[in-house]
Amino acid sequence: MNLAKPCIDVGLYCREREAVMDFWQTSVGLGFEGLLKLGGGAQQWRHEMHGSILKLNHRLEPLPDAPPAGYDGLIVTDETVDEPVTMLDPEGNRVTLVQPGFEGIDQIAIEMAVSNVDEHRAFMRRVLGCQQVSERHMKWGETSFFLSTATGPARAKGTALAAPGFRYVTVQVWDVDLEHETALRGGADEGMAPTTLGETARISFIKDPDDNWIEISQRASLTGSLPA
């Protein structure tokens, strides 16, 4: 993919917004970037992570109980820690703070529990254009992904997008329609066809082999005017 930004964003849905947001700002030390109103009582509280964005999503309608997605944890570089520090936010989402350069992490890393590491690694290379660093370490732009084999009962297909926890990642591209179609031809499943959100962005969703959601975004603030 032709990236408009080399850092991948992370989408997190929560129920207790104030408690969760306080944790990420105070305990993790993320800076608040801004509020994006999504309509229908949904809001996105955006936090900066070394070029990536943690998109903390909250909505008035209660979130359903749902099995976790494959996005299993987040690693954020922090020059103030001497050794890895792992914490859980108020809703049980795992984050680990590490020194920059730890295990080759330049800014953030996303931990993924997948059903088949070999299959997922091949998908990330073929469809997303990721680079392989090691058997379990992939890089998409500057953002690292660490793959491990999921344990416990197999996750059912049809992973919910709007449910508690880390639910999706977002890549910023120059041409969402082109990248969406190319991803489908490469073997990705379609989650949502491209659609324009006012003058802010044009977005789509694809799914990986485990049905995890990946948002493809053409954001006007990065790429200029959007297609009609």
Q: What is the pLDDT tens value at each position of the chain, 228 positions in all?
A: 999 999 999 999 999 999 999 999 999 999 999 998 887 788 999 999 999 999 999 998 999 999 999 999 999 999 999 999 999 999 999 999 999 999 999 999 999 999 999 999 999 999 999 999 999 999 999 999 999 998 876 665 667 899 999 999 999 999 999 999 999 999 999 999 999 988 889 999 999 999 999 999 999 999 988 886
Q: What pLDDT score does 196 carry?
A: 92
Given a contact cutoff of 8 angstroms between Cβ atoms, the answer to whether 47 and 32 are in contact is yes
- Residue 33 neighbours by CB distance under 10 Å: 14
Q: ∠61-63-64 over CA atoms, to 5°?
A: 125
Percent of the chain scoring above 70 in pLDDT: 96
Rounded distance, CA 129 to CA 131, Å?
Answer: 7
H or E element at residue 17 = helix 17-22
Given a contact cutoff of 8 angstroms between Cβ atoms, the answer to whether 76 and 97 are in contact is yes
SS3 content of the chain, % helix, strand, coil (to 5): 20, 45, 40
Tokens of 193: 């066809």
| Phi and psi, residue 140, nearest 5° | -115, 105
Tokens of 41: 């009582």
- 45-80 core/surface letters (b: 16 or more CB in 10 A; e: else): bbbebbbbbbbbbbbeeebeebebbbbbbbbbbbee
